[in-house]
Chain A
Amino acid sequence: MTRMTFAEATRRALAEEMRRDPLVWALGEDLVQGGIFGQYKGLAEEFGPERIVSTPISESTIMGAGLGAALCGTRPVIEMRIADFTLCAMDELVSQIAKVRYMFGGQGRAALVVRMPQGMWRNSAAQHSQCLEAWLTHIPGLVVAAPGTPADAAGLLKAAIRSDDPVVLMEPKNLWTAEGEVPEEVAPIPFGVARRAAEGDAVTVVTWSAMVPVVEQGARESGIGCDVFDLRSLWPWDEAAVLASVRRTGRLLVVHEAVTVSGFGAEVVARVLEAVGPSGLRAAERLGAPRAPVPFSPPLEEAIRITPARVAEAIRRIAAT
C-alpha cells in the first residue's frame, strides 16, 4: 500500500492502462498541461500528443469524437473538465453514445470512458458545482460510477477503460487532493459491488462519491452502530448488499451531495421499499441538498453543505424511530 492522493491514484491507473493497451488514449481540454486537477500530469511526455490530446473548448466534439473513435476500434477516455460542462455535450452522451449499440442492433460498441469531476469545490458557485449523477443513471446504456476513495477511483477507472460499455465516472472534485491507501497493483473493481465502510446493526447508511468521508465521520460521531455502504457505482448498484443490511437493521439513510428531489437516493429508497415491504422498513430518510443552486459565498455554501454533524444527527433521528 502507498499513501497517495485521488489525483495521483487515477493518474497512475490511466498511465498503466495506456501502457497495457496502445488503443487507449485521452482527449479533453488542457490535458497536455496535466488537466486542471493534475490528474493527467506528465502523461503527454510519456505518451505523446496523439494519445494525450489537448482539445479546443468544444464539448460536443470532445464527446462525439470520442464516440467516433470508439466505433473505429480505439478506447478513448473523454475528459469533460467538470461535470457541468457535460451539459454542452448531452446529445452526444445521451442520444448517441448511450444508444448506438442498441439502435444499430449490436453493430458497434461505445467502449469509452467519460470522466466528469463533479460537486462543490472551492466556492465554485452554481455552474461549476452540480452533482448530476441521477440524470445519467436514468439513461439506458450507461454505466455510472462514483468513487469516494483514491483506491476505488483507480480501480474503477481501470474497469471503465476495459469495459465494452460506455462508463461515466463521476469523480468528486473536493477529493482530488484527499489521500488514501492505494495498492501497489491496482486491480479493476467490478461495477455494482459496494464497499462496506463500517459494520453495525442499527442503521443502514448508503452513500457515494464526495460524501463518503463525510458519512464515515458522521457515522462514527453518531455513536450508533451503522452499516455504512459506499456504493462506488450507481448503475449497476449493489442492491443485494444494501437489502441484506436493511433486512437486519430495518432502517435506511441515504446521503448524497446532489439535490434530494429526484436524486439517486429516491431510487435506493424506492427499491428497498419494494423489496422489503413496509413492514421491513421502519424508517427511511434521504439527506441531500436543498432544491437550490449552489451559492458562491462561503457562509451560504456552508448553509447547504452536508457535514458529519448533520449526518450524525440524521442517523440518531432514524435510530430513534
Chain B
Amino acid sequence: MSNETARRMAMLRDMARIRAFEREAVAAMRSGEAPGVVHPSIGQEAVAVGVCGNLRRADRITSTHRGHGHAIAKGADARAMMLELHGRAGGSCGGKGGSMHIADFAVGMLGANGVVGAGIPIACGAAQAIRLRKEEAIVACFFGDGAVNRGPFLEGMNWAALYRLPVLFVCEDNGFAAFTRNSAVTAGAGPAARAEACGVPASAVDGEDVLAVDAVAAELVARIRAGQGPQFLHARCYRWEGHTGTDAAAYRPAEEAAAARGRDCIRRLAALLEQAGVAPGEIAVVEAEAAAEMAAHRAAALAAPWPPPEAAFSDVQDTGAPA
C-alpha cells in the first residue's frame, strides 16, 4: 500500500469512526439512555477529518454544539466522549458537560460550545497566547453557517486579521441554522465574502470530498504556519440528520437529504480507494471495526458508574467555592 493510500485509509477510518460514534449517540439519545440532546454531524465528517489531518497535537481547535467529529478527528478519547454523553463518571468532563461541552485539553481540543459562534473569540485569544508564549502551533476554529450572522463572527474576523493571528477559520456550511435554511436568513454574498471584507483570505471547498478538504486545508495551514496570518475555509456540506437527534427535519424536502446521502463522503473515498486497488473487504473491515469500537464504548458507558453527587459542587471555583 502506497503512503498516499495508507493516508487515505486513515482518513476513511477517522470518518467511519465519527459516523459510527454519532450513530450510537443518536440511538442512545432516542432511547433515552443518553440524557439531554445530541447534535449529529453525520454527513459532514469530511470537513473535520480533512482539516484535522493537517493539524499537529500541539495545535488547538475550538468547536461547536455539533462537535463530536472535530473532537474525534483531533484525537480525543472516543470512549471518554461516549461516557460523557451518557453523563457518567470517566466521561471527558466527568459527566458535567455532556455532548455540547466536550473538551479534551490533552489533544488541544479546547471545547465544544453551546453558543453559536462563541468559539471564534476564544480561538483568537488562544492564538494570541500561542504567540506570547512563542509556541509553534496554530488554532483551527470550527463554526457553522449560522454563526456568520452573529456579532462575534465579524469581531473575530477583524481581530484575527488585524493581529495576523495563526487561525484557520472553518465555516462548516451544512445549509441549516437549526430549523431554518440559512440562505433564507442571510443577506449578501455569503461567509467567504464576509471574511474577505475583513481582510481574511477565503477559500471554498466541497466539504463532502475529504481529499479536496485535505488539499485546501494543507495549503491554508502551511500559509498560517509560514506567518501569513489567518485564513478562512468555506466548506459546503449537508446535515443529513435534523438539528438534533430527534428532529425529523420535516422543514425540508426528503429528496434533498436523500441526494446528500448519495454524495456520502465515506462512500466517495471508498470508491477512490477501490479504484486504487484496495479490496472492498478491507474497507468493510475498517467500517466494521469502527462500528464495533463505538458499540463497545456505548456498552461501556451504560455500565459505567454515575458521578458521585459531590461532583456537582467541585470545580466551580477555589475562592468562594460552594459550601
Please list the residues of chain A having a beta carbon within 8 angstroms of any beta carbon in chain B: 23, 25, 27, 50-51, 53, 55-56, 58, 60-61, 63-74, 76, 91-92, 95-96, 100-108, 140-143, 163-166, 191-192, 235-236
- CB atoms of B159 and A105 under 8 A apart: no
**Bound-state Cα–Cα, A174 to B152, Å:** 31
Q: Which residues of B contact A166 (CB under 8 A)?
A: 317
B105 interfacial by beta-carbon distance below 8 Å: yes
**Bound-state Cα–Cα, A164 to B322, Å:** 16
Which of B295-320 touch A at CB < 8 Å? 314-320
Name 20 interchain pairs, CB-CB below 8 A, sorted by A: A23-B132, A27-B128, A50-B131, A51-B132, A53-B128, A61-B121, A61-B156, A64-B124, A64-B125, A65-B121, A68-B121, A68-B122, A74-B133, A103-B93, A105-B92, A105-B94, A107-B93, A107-B105, A143-B319, A191-B319
**Bound-state Cα–Cα, A142 to B316, Å:** 9
Closest to B123 in A: A68
Supposing A66-B125, A72-B60 touch, asked if A61 and B159 sit within 8 A by C-beta, the answer is yes
Q: How far is the CB of B85 from chain A (nearest CB, A)?
A: 13
Q: How far is the CB of A155 from chain B (nearest CB, A)?
A: 15
Supposing A91-B115, A104-B101 touch, asked if A68 and B124 sit within 8 A by C-beta, the answer is yes
**Bound-state Cα–Cα, A109 to B217, Å:** 30
Closest to B320 in A: A236
Q: Which 9 A-B pairs have the closest CB atoms?
A: A64-B121, A68-B125, A65-B125, A105-B93, A72-B129, A236-B320, A105-B94, A68-B122, A58-B155
Please list the residues of chain B having a beta carbon within 8 angstroms of any beta carbon in chain A: 60, 62, 91-97, 101, 103-105, 110-111, 113-115, 118, 120-133, 151-152, 155-156, 158-159, 162, 314-320, 322
**Bound-state Cα–Cα, A94 to B76, Å:** 27
For A60, A72, A108, the residue with the greatest tally of chain B CB atoms inside 10 Å of its CB is A72
Q: How far is the CB of A183 from chain B (nearest CB, A)?
A: 22
Q: Contact partner of B152 among A25, A64, A107, CB < 8 A?
A: A64
- CB atoms of A68 and B129 under 8 A apart: yes
Closest to A140 in B: B316
Q: How far is the CB of B153 from chain A (nearest CB, A)?
A: 10
- CB atoms of B159 and A235 under 8 A apart: no
**Bound-state Cα–Cα, A163 to B94, Å:** 24
**Bound-state Cα–Cα, A200 to B131, Å:** 54
Q: Which residues of A contact B127 (CB under 8 A)?
A: 68
Q: Which residues of A contact B110 (CB under 8 A)?
A: 68, 71-72, 108
Q: How far is the CB of B278 from chain A (nearest CB, A)?
A: 38
Q: Which residues of B contact A192 (CB under 8 A)?
A: 319-320
- CB atoms of B122 and A104 under 8 A apart: no
- CB atoms of A100 and B320 under 8 A apart: no
Q: How far is the CB of A87 from chain B (nearest CB, A)?
A: 13
For A64, A73, A92, A142, the residue with the greatest tally of chain B CB atoms inside 10 Å of its CB is A64
Closest to A191 in B: B319
**Bound-state Cα–Cα, A141 to B321, Å:** 8
Q: How far is the CB of B247 from chain A (nearest CB, A)?
A: 23
For A58, A106, A141, A191, the residue with the greatest tally of chain B CB atoms inside 10 Å of its CB is A58
Q: How far is the CB of B155 from chain A (nearest CB, A)?
A: 4
For B96, B114, B115, B322, the residue with the greatest tally of chain A CB atoms inside 10 Å of its CB is B96
Q: Which residues of A contact B93 (CB under 8 A)?
A: 103-105, 107
**Bound-state Cα–Cα, A190 to B67, Å:** 39
Q: Contact partner of B103 among A72, A108, A235, CB < 8 A?
A: A108
Closest to A49 in B: B163
**Bound-state Cα–Cα, A66 to B128, Å:** 9
Q: How far is the CB of A180 from chain B (nearest CB, A)?
A: 25
Q: How far is the CB of A34 from chain B (nearest CB, A)?
A: 20
- CB atoms of A69 and B314 under 8 A apart: no
Q: Which residues of A contact B315 (CB under 8 A)?
A: 101-102, 105-106
| A50-B131, A165-B318 known, 7 other contacts, Cβ within 8 Å | A27-B128, A64-B124, A66-B125, A74-B132, A103-B111, A105-B93, A142-B317
**Bound-state Cα–Cα, A58 to B96, Å:** 31
Q: How far is the CB of A16 from chain B (nearest CB, A)?
A: 19
Q: Which residues of A contact B130 (CB under 8 A)?
A: 72
Q: Which residues of B contact A71 (CB under 8 A)?
A: 105, 110, 122, 125-126, 129
Q: Which residues of A contact B113 (CB under 8 A)?
A: 96
Closest to B165 in A: A65
Q: Which residues of B contact A91 (CB under 8 A)?
A: 115, 118
Closest to B114 in A: A95
Closest to B312 in A: A102
Supposing A56-B158, A73-B133, A104-B105 touch, asked if A61 and B96 sit within 8 A by C-beta, the answer is no
Supposing A25-B132, A74-B133 touch, asked if A143 and B92 sit within 8 A by C-beta, the answer is no
Q: Which residues of A contact B95 (CB under 8 A)?
A: 105
